[in-house]
Amino acid sequence: MSQTITRKTGHFAWCALVALHLAEQDGQVKSDMQKNLFLMRWLATAKKQRRFDRDVTPDIDWLLQQGRTLGVRAKLPQKLDYLYRSCTGTLHEQSDLFRLTYAFESAKEA
């Protein structure tokens, strides 16, 4: 992935996480189910309104597909957090345990 696309994907993930945290602060989102529903609506709206560059569209489509098929088990906030960390370079600063745990979770889902 080129640095430009990586930067755009990181920005997209950051925006989604900020929107989720603002909704949590406002009291709109309290449970995992509500987080999933909020993110699904946010992602669908972002795609429909073309808020992000078309390079980010495959990421949005993948997250929407995950949310639709797995529901709450999709763990969309965690996936967005990982996407953000991996695109901003902070993933390398994470502990070995964090990276290993994510690798196991990804393998289990596949």
Q: What is the 3-state secondary structure (H, E, C) of the chain?
A: CCHHHHHHHHHHHHHHHHHHHHHHHCCCCCCHHHHHHHHHHHHHHHHHCCCCCHHHHHHHHHHHHHHHHHHHHHCHHHHHHHHHHHHHCHHHHCCHHHHHHHHHHHHHHC
Could you tell me the pTM of the whole model?
0.80
pLDDT given at position 2: 62
pLDDT given at position 58: 93
Q: Tell me the per-residue pLDDT of 39-60, one tens digit each, with 9 for 90 and over.
A: 999 999 999 999 999 999 999 9
Stretch 73-81: mean pLDDT: 92
Dihedral through CA 52, CA 14, CA 59, CA 33, nearest 10?
Answer: -120
The mean of the pLDDT values for the chain is 87
pLDDT at 25 over 60: yes
pLDDT at 1 over 60: no
Is residue 50 left, alpha or beta, with left meaning phi > 0 and alpha meaning psi from -120 to 50?
left
Q: Tell me the per-residue pLDDT of 87-98, one tens digit each, with 9 for 90 and over.
A: 777 656 767 777
Position 86 confidence tier, pLDDT thresholds 50, 70, 90: confident
Least Cα distance to 41 among 12, 11, 16 occurs for 16
